[in-house]
Amino acid sequence: MSKLRLEGKVAIITGAASGIGEAAAKLFAEHGAFVIIADIQHEPANQVVDSIGLVRTGSGELGKYGIRVNCISPFGVSTPMASKMSNLDISTLEAKGNPLSNLKGIVLKAKHVAESALFLASNESYYISRHNLAVDGGFSVVSNVMSMVKS
Ligand SMILES: NC(=O)c1ccc[n+]([C@@H]2O[C@H](COP(=O)([O-])OP(=O)(O)OC[C@H]3O[C@@H](n4cnc5c(N)ncnc54)[C@H](O)[C@@H]3O)[C@@H](O)[C@H]2O)c1
């Protein structure tokens, strides 16, 4: 097994019953974090708790306390929320999103976003704070949507 990257750390993950939050809760627990999850969907949240086994539920200016604050901005991920909003099933949604993406041949999954969060939560990003990590395959720099609009 690879090195535990979050051993001794506490992670509080909101929206952990589904999608990106669920993927992050599972991955963080696998990497040794003590994970506290919060979600308004109690039963699915409990299922996530059961699936990781070692978790408990619960529900600016932090640098001076040694607390790093970072953000992830992903490209569209076909999660239950995205499916509900678009009224499309996951595979149709992925197929529709593909032509808009800049990075071809890879479909962004919740797991990939969770892996980026794992990096930001681990000591590998020791001195990174107030950073917005775009997990979008370059979409926000080279926006195909805008080129489609122009054409
Ligand atoms: N899926 C995407 O393409 C995408 C892209 C960019 C940003 N995001 C953002 O990522 C986050 C997670 O999205 P997702 O796609 O994994 O959605 P999801 O619907 O799969 O999961 C969201 C979870 O949040 C929970 N939730 C909603 N309101 C809550 C509240 N007040 N307190 C606690 N939990 C609450 C829901 O019950 C659900 O379990 C959202 O903030 C979304 O806006 C998603």
Pick out the chain residues at pLDDT < 70: 1-2, 54-60, 143-151
- Say how many Å lie between the CA of residue 127 and the centre of ligand 1: 27
- Say how many Å lie between the CA of residue 150 and the centre of ligand 1: 31
Rounded CA separation 95/64 (Å): 45
Q: Is 102 in the pocket of ligand 1 (CB under 6 A)?
A: no
Give the mutation target among 27, 81, 84 for probing the ligand 1 site: most ligand atoms within 8 A of CB: 81
Rounded CA separation 92/70 (Å): 31
The owner of tokens 């678009």 is 86
Give the mutation target among 13, 18, 94 for probing the ligand 1 site: most ligand atoms within 8 A of CB: 18
φ, ψ of residue 137 to 5 degrees: the values are 60, 25
Rounded CA separation 101/139 (Å): 6
Q: Regarding beta strands 70-74 and 56-57, do their DSSP bridges make them parallel or antiparallel, or are they unpaired?
A: unpaired
Q: Is 41 in the pocket of ligand 1 (CB under 6 A)?
A: yes
Q: Is 73 left (phi over 0), alpha (psi -120 to 50) or beta?
A: beta
- Say how many Å lie between the CA of residue 151 and the centre of ligand 1: 33
Rounded CA separation 133/138 (Å): 11
- Say how many Å lie between the CA of residue 97 and the centre of ligand 1: 18
Cα separations in angstroms, 105 against 29, 36, 98, 125? 29, 35, 9, 28
Amino acid 62: pLDDT: 81
The H helix count followed by the E strand count for the chain is: 6, 5
Q: Which atom of ligand 1 is nearest to the CA of 80?
A: 20
Amino acid 3: pLDDT: 84
